[in-house]
Amino acid sequence: MVSLIDSLRSFSSVRVLVLGDLMLDRFTYGKVERISPEAPVPVFQIREQKEMLGGAGNVAANLRSLGCEVSVVGLVGRDADGDLVEQLLRDCGAKPILFRPEGFPTIVKMRLIASGSHLSRVDREEPLPILKKVLPRVGNIFRRLVQQVDIVLLSDYSKGLLTEQTTRIFIDICREQNKKVIVDPKGKDYAKYHGAMLVKPNLKEFVQATGSTLPDPRSDAFLPRLTELAISLIKKHEFGSLIITLGEHGMALVSPDITPPLLRIPTQAKEVYDVSGAGDTSLAVLGAALGCQTPLDSAMRLANIASGLVVAKLGTATVSCEELLQALPKEGKIESAISDTLLLPERKILSLDAAEAVIRRLQHAGKRVGFTNGAFDCCHMGHLRSFMAARKLCDALVVAINSDASVRRLKGETRPVQDEATRSLIVASLEYVDYVIIFDDDTAMNVVQRLRPDVLAKEGYTVDNWPEAQFVQSYGGQVVTLPRVEGYSTSNLVHKMK
């Protein structure tokens, strides 16, 4: 049986074609401190603005974050926002194949967010022009692209690209070439998705498609009725399977190929800050997993874990294989005999990309993130006191550790005494430390610039000869020079051992 870890390692070999509605998500962050004197509405003060790929673009961004090779077919306007969508696709490493009809503006969704909560959303979109003239060309391009990929994802936001006619053409082409098709559906009529391998509605969409009602998800009657309706929908439209996302109640897989035909798993979300794009993330993970022949039940488990991670981030966010790996339950007989607490230190050690994502999530939730760095070659009382003091200043402490190569450049060929794997694991095992990063530069400036911590703390440094501190102060962060514990140093310890 293929393990979830093996599946994640195979994502980089998967080639995916995404077809669907492209849009630009514009997140405007700020604060509200007063009511307008002109009308009884809040006055929103803008602090910063971020633009991200939405819809099918967010599916592509998630696939690229997972390491997959991605091509994207969609429509944008002949405008600056369309140019930005194309650039964002290229920036994330996806290959855009875009149609840009006259008179059709790029779809933009602008969200106003104050103190971590959505205040309002403003949309700009127009009905899509008739595609009859370009449909043969789109079909021919799609047929050539399908030959080069392992799996096809249809991301339908009901914006006009995936009509009954076009969707039937796309699915028929995939079936002709024996390619798997996963659909994230929209609307009540699923006839246009006839023959898809997997359709992934949320609970509300599923109820609309069946035209029926369901009991309360907490009742004993819910799952039997859900299964009955799902099997009926599968038979009616010749779907391979249905995966129904149930929000706080997890996910349900219904398939004639498993016994019993229903598998339900609970949600993985611990904290929910923003559900924007969670469906895109689960679609991307399902596509990546099924594209490398992961069994359907295992693919759903990965998608469920990914959804739990992404709803804890603000904005249409993505997840990486590294984040999924950190969140996976440990597998194997030996590991299962060890408590989660003992395994936790390994999960604290993150790449810079993963750490940046975690820190943004914490900061958007109003948490203070602290940072310190060093070689920590032989962890001694001075180091421990510094960690303890730094942790008191923040809600989460990140420790950046010099790599072996970095330590050799700074301290000579006889150092470090312990390699970076050992040093990072020792530091990660401390309860005062929340996350650990290994960096290869001579200074931590690049790491600090990426992470932008709220608090920078380190012993023995003053701001005038501490560039990282000057940078942190430039955006309003706190800098603290920690008191040195005299009589302790790695050099002295090494000398005594000799």
List residues with catalytic annotation: 280
Tell me the C-alpha distance between 365 and 272, whole Å. Answer: 10
- Tell me the two tokens of residue 233: 């929908």
Give CA torsion, residues 471, 475, 477, 481, to 10 deg: 30
Contact of 90 with 61, CB cutoff 8 Å? no
The H-or-E segment that residue 397 falls in is strand 396-402
CA-based nearest residue to 493, from 428, 416, 431: 416
Q: Give one DSSP letter per residue of 66-111, joined into a string.
A: TT-EEEEEEE--SSHHHHHHHHHHHHTT-EEEEE--TT-PPPEEEE
Residue with the two structure tokens 């990965």:
302
Beta-bridge mates of residue 383: none
Q: How far apart are CA 323 and CA 334, in angstroms?
A: 23
Q: In this structure, are residues 36 and 42 in contact, taking their beta carbons and an 8 Å threshold? A: yes
Q: Which of 371, 373, 374 is nearest to 415 (CA)?
A: 374
Whether 65 and 318 have beta carbons less than 8 Å apart is answered as yes
DSSP annotation string for 463-479: GGG-HHHHHHHHTT-EE
